Amino acid sequence: MENDALIRTRALSRRYQVGQQPVVALDGVDLDVGRGEFVALVGPSGSGKSTLLNLLGGLDRPESGTIQVADLELGGAGEAQLVRYRREQVGFVFQSFNLLAMRSAVENVEMPLILAGVKPRERRPRALALLESVGLAARAHHKPSELSGGEMQRVAVARALANGPMLLLADEPTGNLDSNTGQGILDLLRQAVAAQGVTLVLVTHDARVASYADRIIHMLDGRIERIESGERARDALKSS
């Protein structure tokens, strides 16, 4: 693998069987993503964006083709390897936040630390520092129902970063937020890329959000339709 590529997929394909009918979700995707790169996945609903993200996160297995992340080939990895990969190397952020409703903000951030075996005494200070880094120190003991959407997504970002992942996967992370609040979440994610060298793959419907990426991958019918530079997209938005 080229030394600056973190992700490499080749002929990556995934079908779903719906009744008798096979649905092609991904159809031969070849994609390289560099370490520390921010790529946006865009395209119409049903074009395969979430399927690709789930495969990259080891939540799903390819049907054919390969998907290499760092030195792990996810299609051929054992189940225990995949579990470790998801816990230690990947942070997920979802549109619907996916926080535990009965747990406070700080307890939500502690969950991945518990799964990674971080000692109780180290967990709480680390989770509090993470909440502080997303501007939520004052909300540490609030339950999700006592937080705004933007605050919940900040908790989710802190949780995603808890184990120092090399890869951050975000599926419409600003989709449920107004544009100012969404911009704040995007800034946090970009900060993780800039300060910690995290690689960010982000699905979005929002052309402005996508324009912050280094590259914009346009998906259509399970394929990469074209790849656009984020810089060009930003220029185009400015002049429109």
List residues near ligand ADP by CB under 6 A: 16, 18, 23, 25, 43, 45-51
User: How many CB atoms within 10 Å of residue 103?
Assistant: 15
Nearer to ligand ADP, 47 or 108 (CB): 47
Between 140 and 202, CB nearer to Mg ion = 202
Residues that bind Mg ion (CB under 5 A): 49-50
Nearer to ligand ADP, 226 or 238 (CB): 226
Name the minimum Å distance from CB 62 to ligand ADP. Answer: 13
**Binding partner of 20, given ligand ADP, Mg ion, none, CB within 5-8 angstroms per partner class:** none
- Inter-residue contact 6 to 35 (CB < 8 Å): yes
Please identify which residue in the block is written with the tokens 């390819």.
62
Q: If we measure between CA atoms, which residue out of 52, 70, 90, 74 comes closest to residue 6?
A: 70
Tell me which residue has its CB nearest to Mg ion: 50
Q: Identify whether the C-beta of residue 47 lies closer than 8 Å to the C-beta of residue 222.
A: yes
Distance CA 219, CA 199 (A): 19
CB of 210 to ligand ADP, least distance (A): 14
> Which residue, 107 or 171, is less far from ligand ADP as judged by CB?
171
Contact 19, 192 (CB under 8 A): no
Q: Which is nearer to ligand ADP, 46 or 184 (CB)?
A: 46
Q: What one-character DSSP code corresponds to residue 93?
A: E
Q: Cβ of residue 131: shortest distance to ligand ADP, in angstroms?
A: 30
For the CB of residue 175, give the shortest distance to Mg ion in the complex, in Å: 9
Residue 194, binding choice from Mg ion, ligand ADP, none, Cβ under 5 to 8 Å by partner class: none
Least distance in Å: CB of 224 to ligand ADP?
12
Contact (CB, 8 A) for 123 and 110 = yes
Burial 47-59 (b: 16+ CB within 10 A, else e): bbbbbbbbbbbbe
Q: Facing residues of 85 across strands?
A: none
In angstroms, give the least distance from the CB of 57 to Mg ion. 13
46 binds, among Mg ion, ligand ADP, none (CB under 5 to 8 A by kind): ligand ADP
Tokens 């790529």, located at residue = 39
- In terms of residues, how long is the chain? 240
Among Mg ion, ligand ADP, none, the one that 48 touches (CB under a kind-dependent 5 to 8 A) is ligand ADP
Which is closer to ligand ADP, CB of 16 or CB of 231?
A: 16
Looking at residue 123, its amino acid is R
